[in-house]
Amino acid sequence: MGAVAVKSDRPRVVTKRRAPPPPVLFVQSGEGSFIRYSSSLSEENNSQTKVNALNMIPRF
């Protein structure tokens, strides 16, 4: 039974590691200031911010 508990713990750790990076995004504006997006934004808004961030980086 102990082994089963370890297996169940592994996926949870992976999900926790994946969770933190996406919600917080650093976008570099023309002025050089960094805009921080918190997890307060919904997933739909988060996906839009990612697209905007990718578009902003190549232009710079």
% of the chain beyond a pLDDT of 70: 0
Amino acid making up residue 15: T
Phi/psi for 5 (5° steps) reads: -65, -40
Domain ranges of the chain: 22-60
Cα(17)–Cα(37) distance, integer angstroms: 18
Asked if 38 and 24 touch (Cβ cutoff 8 Å), the reply is yes
Confidence of residue 4 (pLDDT cuts 50, 70, 90): low
Q: Is residue 7 over pLDDT 50? A: yes
Tokens of residue 10, six digits:
């592994």
**pLDDT number for residue 60:** 47
**pLDDT number for residue 50:** 56
Q: Each residue of 27-50: pLDDT tens digit?
A: 555 554 555 555 444 444 445 555
Tokens of residue 48, six digits:
């839009």
